[in-house]
């Protein structure tokens, strides 16, 4: 009964999830950022991000609007190019390959190949509006991974069933509620069997009564051992599911630690004032 | 608020069953009156045209399916189809070049659109038609060296039909590329990001995600372009092409039956544009899938879809 069907090593890890963060010493962290900087013109949005997520961990990023959370998430997936600093996913530098002690910039095809291993879920769902739910989920496996259509469809139906939308396979995005669209979007990302999932405020475009259904799916995913980086304002979700919470402000990570530390006993004044506003 | 509270306090919810009410749709008696009036006016116009001796219906009948007209019609149709095919295929390429991150491609495509949209199509036709006068021989080789792969007389390489196709096709490419560019830009950038995040390359994203959605915006103006092209083919008479309009003009230059022959031409153009609305409507429905409000039905569908209001 798992959402994920991955390599044997990763499924076995799922069972030992509580210790996942501790035993990661031998393998590189899933996400490692050191002094990551990014500017848009004169606006320096990221001013040296230090951040680490171990395999199997769930990290929640908090922070006020404009603090650079989305930008950082997009850097992890190379949708934005980092200006300075080091950023790597699963030991490999994002956008580069290390050969002979030098970093060679990746070509478009290679960047795309790396992205197949990272799933991303967007605030505004971004389902392909000319395709049904099923076609959305089948698109990348057939087009990118070249899976036979029959195999991809079978797996897509399985995933849609897991997110509770087996009966909506033939619906177009415009015929689905926000919560349903977001669950299809999660199924679409999972169809590529990613080793890392990025969520950018997945519930903030939803009506309050639809937030729960999406968080439930994410909670299941976390329980099964998926490594996740989640930008959200759902403090309850962070408290319950996160292994690490990082508070960002002004383009830096101000404070990071276990949820009970950062959310319960914040050390920094900026964290405290932010939490007092959202709680 | 006060009113509803009062209302709910007087009704006992469980016991009182609201009676089933019949919903009466809004009636539109005005539409029927208007339809009858319009019908009468149309009928009187048709009758007066049919009875008008100046229109010379026997001549119209004689020329409508004459060889001269039919061969012109054939030229018009294939020129339109070929030029539009060239325009659409080339237009997609030029549009993608204009939106490319590569500055060389952007400048080249921008210059192409600038030249071919900025000069009269008549001039372009004459240029291609009389290319042999500018460049009597055509040589293909490596520039600034003596290496020559091929050489030949330009007028043999570019006969009138090829010249007509080149002129109309390249001109259409420039216009179509701008329509297609607007269509591509109308697609939400979130769609591209989602495709990229799934590991799709730019090329595949364009083909699989962006263009199919852009089509919805592209098709109606391209329908217009096709109809314009149908009539623009008449310009090929200047390089002695033999399209429908040129043949009609040639005929009335000899027999002076201008009005009946123009009626023949109009009847054919109208028939062609009517036929064109069928694939257009089909394409609009095909690419409108997944959009909440279905687009208008194609022209023929519109003509026959006069539905009186809910009559029961
Ligand atoms: N493509 C861009 N070009 C220019 N400026 C940008 C771009 N993307 C983001 N920015 C700017 O970068 C800053 C950080 O944006 P970002 O979207 O990362 O913030 P955020 O923390 O995700 O905020 P929110 O909670 O509102 O989503 C903002 O000031 C924004 O205006
Ligand atoms: Mg954001």
Q: What ipTM, to 2 d.p.? A: 0.89
CA–CA separation, B143 and A80 (whole Å): 42
Q: Please give the sequence-ordered ranges of beta strands (E in DSSP) within A96-150, or none if there are none.
A: 96-99, 102-105, 118-121
Please compute the mean of the pLDDT values over residues B177-206 and round it to a whole number. 96
Q: Is the CB of A259 under 6 A from ligand 1?
A: no
* Nearest-ligand number for the alpha carbon of A72: 1
pLDDT tier for residue B312 given thresholds of 50, 70 and 90: very low
Distance CA A236, CA A279 (A): 9
Q: Whose CA is nearest to atom 13 of ligand 1?
A: A66
Q: CA–CA distance from A14 to each of A6, A32, A57, A226 (Å)?
A: 11, 21, 11, 8
First-last CA distance in chain B: 38
The answer, yes or no, to whether residue A32 has pLDDT greater than 60, is: yes
Question: Can you give the pLDDT at residue B307?
Answer: 42
Nearest CA to ligand 1 atom 5: A40
Among A46-50, B165-169, B301-305, the minimum mean pLDDT is found in B301-305
- DSSP output for A243-278: SEEEEEETTEEEEEE-HIIIIIS--SHHHHHHHHHH
A66 in contact with ligand 1, CB cutoff 6 A? yes
What pLDDT, in 10s, does the model give residues B211-257?
999 999 999 999 999 999 998 998 888 887 788 998 999 899 999 98
Residues A32, A29: Cα–Cα separation, whole Å? 6
Instruction: Give all strands (DSSP E) within chain B, no chain letters.
Output: 137-141, 148-153
CA distance B13 to B88: 64
Where residue B33 falls among pLDDT bands split at 50, 70, 90?
Answer: very high
Q: What was the pLDDT predicted at A221?
A: 95
The beta strand positions in A68-201, using DSSP E, are 84-89, 92-93, 96-99, 102-105, 118-121, 196-200
User: What is the nearest CA distance from A43 to chain B, expressed in angstroms?
Assistant: 22
In chain B, positions 170-209, which contact chain A (CB-CB < 8 Å)? 188, 190-191, 193-202, 204, 208-209
Interface of B with A in 205-224 (CB under 8 A): 208-209, 212-213
Cα separation, B199 vs B205, in Å, equals 9
Q: Residue A34 belongs to what H/E stretch?
A: strand A31-40
Question: B202 is written with which tokens?
Answer: 């730019």
Instruction: Looking at the CA of residue A73, tell me the nearest atom of ligand 1.
Output: 18
* Contact status, residue A251 vs residue A67, Cβ threshold 8 Å: yes
Phi, psi of A207 (to 5 degrees): -65, 145
Residues of A with CB under 8 A from a CB of B: 77, 79, 108-109, 112-116, 118-120, 122, 124, 126-132, 139-140, 143-144, 172-175, 185, 188-189, 192
Q: Find chain B residues with C-beta within 8 A of A192's C-beta.
A: 198-199
For residue B140, what pLDDT is reported?
83
Q: Is the pLDDT of residue B101 over 80?
A: yes
User: A216 to chain B, minimum CA–CA distance in Å?
Assistant: 22
Section A212-236 average pLDDT: 95
B27 pLDDT higher than 70: yes
In the predicted structure, residue A22 carries a pLDDT above the cut 70? no
From A42, A45, A47, A250, the mutation candidate for ligand 1 (largest count of ligand atoms within 8 A of CB) is A45
Q: Which residue of B has its CA nearest to A192?
A: B198
Q: How far is the CA of A66 from the centre of ligand 1 (A)?
A: 5
> How far is the centre of ligand 2, averaged over its atoms, from the C-alpha of A250 (Å)?
13
Q: Residue A25's pLDDT band (boundaries 50, 70, 90)?
A: low
Mean pLDDT over each residue of chain B, to the nearest integer? 85
Beta bridge partners of A248: A253
Q: Which one of A135, A143, A199 would you mutate to disrupt binding with B, by most B Cβ within 10 Å of its Cβ?
A: A143
CB-CB neighbors (< 8 A) of B295 in chain A: none
pLDDT of residue B21: 85
Residue A5: pLDDT over 60: no
CB B282 within 8 A of CB B299: no
**Per residue in A57-100, pLDDT tens?**
999 999 999 999 999 999 999 999 999 999 999 999 999 888 88
Among residues A203, A158, A141, A153, the alpha carbon closest in space to that of A178 is found at A203
pLDDT at B298: 45
pLDDT at A99: 85
Per DSSP, the three-state class of B229 is: helix
In this prediction, residue B14 carries a pLDDT of 55
pLDDT at position B310 over 50: no
Residues B221, B284: contact at Cβ < 8 Å? Answer: no
> In chain A, which residues have their Cβ closer than 8 Å to the Cβ of B201?
108-109, 112
Contacts of B102 in chain A (CB under 8 A): none
Spatial separation of the C-alpha atoms in residues A19 and A6, rounded to whole Å: 19
Question: Which pLDDT score, from 0 to 100, does residue B292 have?
Answer: 55
- Residue A39 pLDDT greater than 50, yes or no: yes
Q: Give the tokens for residue B288.
A: 């409108």
Residue B200 to residue A143, Cβ atoms within 8 A: yes
Nearest Cα residue to A200 out of A113, A85, A117, A76? A76
């Amino acid at each position: 009964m798992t959402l994920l069907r991955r390599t044997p090593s990763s499924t076995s890890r799922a069972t030992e999830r509580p210790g996942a963060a501790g035993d990661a010493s031998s393998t590189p962290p899933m996400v490692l950022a050191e002094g990551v900087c990014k500017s848009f013109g004169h606006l320096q949005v990221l001013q040296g991000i230090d951040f680490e997520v171990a395999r199997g961990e769930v990290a929640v990023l908090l922070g006020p609007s404009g603090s650079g959370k989305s930008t950082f998430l997009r850097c992890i997936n190379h949708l934005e190019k980092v200006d300075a600093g080091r950023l790597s996913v699963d030991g490999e530098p994002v956008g580069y390959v290390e050969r002979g002690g030098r970093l060679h910039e990746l070509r478009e095809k290679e960047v795309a190949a790396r992205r197949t291993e990272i799933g991303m879920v967007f605030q505004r769902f971004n389902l392909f509006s000319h395709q049904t739910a099923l076609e959305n989920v089948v698109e990348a496996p057939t087009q990118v991974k070249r899976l036979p259509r029959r195999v991809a469809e079978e797996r897509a139906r399985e995933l849609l069933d897991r997110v509770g939308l087996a009966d909506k396979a033939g619906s177009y995005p415009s015929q689905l509620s926000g919560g349903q669209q977001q669950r299809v979007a999660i199924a679409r990302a999972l169809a590529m069997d990613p080793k890392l999932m990025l969520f950018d405020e997945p519930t903030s475009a939803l009506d309050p009564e639809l937030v729960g259904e999406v968080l439930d799916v994410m909670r299941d995913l976390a329980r099964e051992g998926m490594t996740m980086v989640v930008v959200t304002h759902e403090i309850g979700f962070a408290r319950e599911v996160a292994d690490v919470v990082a508070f960002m402000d002004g383009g830096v990570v101000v404070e990071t630690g276990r949820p009970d530390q950062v959310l319960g006993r914040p050390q920094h004044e900026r964290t405290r004032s932010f939490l007092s506003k959202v709680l | 608020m006060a009113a509803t509270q009062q209302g709910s306090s007087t009704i006992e919810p469980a016991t009182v069953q609201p009676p089933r009410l019949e919903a009466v749709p809004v009636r539109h008696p005005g539409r029927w009156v208007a339809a009858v009036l319009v019908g009468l006016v149309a009928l009187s116009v048709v009758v007066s045209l049919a009875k008008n001796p100046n229109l010379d219906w026997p001549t119209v009948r004689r020329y409508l399916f004459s060889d001269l007209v039919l061969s012109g019609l054939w030229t018009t149709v294939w020129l339109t189809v070929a030029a539009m095919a060239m325009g659409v295929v080339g237009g997609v390429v030029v549009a993608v070049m204009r939106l490319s991150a590569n500055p060389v491609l952007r400048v080249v495509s921008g210059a192409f659109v600038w030249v071919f949209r900025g000069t009269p199509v008549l001039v372009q036709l004459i240029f291609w038609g009389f290319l042999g006068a500018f460049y009597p021989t055509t040589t293909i080789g490596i520039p600034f060296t003596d290496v020559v792969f091929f050489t030949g007389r330009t007028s043999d390489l570019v006969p009138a039909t090829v010249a007509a196709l080149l002129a109309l096709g390249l001109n259409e490419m420039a216009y179509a590329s701008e329509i297609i560019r607007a269509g591509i830009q109308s697609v939400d950038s979130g769609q591209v990001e989602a495709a990229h995040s799934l590991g799709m390359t730019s090329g595949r994203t364009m083909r699989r995600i962006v263009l199919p959605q852009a089509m919805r915006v592209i098709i109606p103006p391209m329908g217009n372009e096709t109809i314009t092209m149908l009539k623009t083919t008449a310009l090929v008479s200047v390089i002695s092409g033999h399209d429908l309009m040129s043949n009609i003009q040639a005929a009335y230059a000899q027999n002076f039956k201008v009005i009946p022959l123009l009626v023949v031409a109009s009847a054919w153009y109208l028939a062609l544009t009517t036929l064109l609305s069928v694939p257009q409507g089909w394409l609009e429905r095909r690419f409108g899938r997944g959009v909440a409000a279905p687009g208008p039905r194609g022209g023929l569908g519109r003509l026959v879809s006069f539905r009186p209001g809910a009559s029961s």
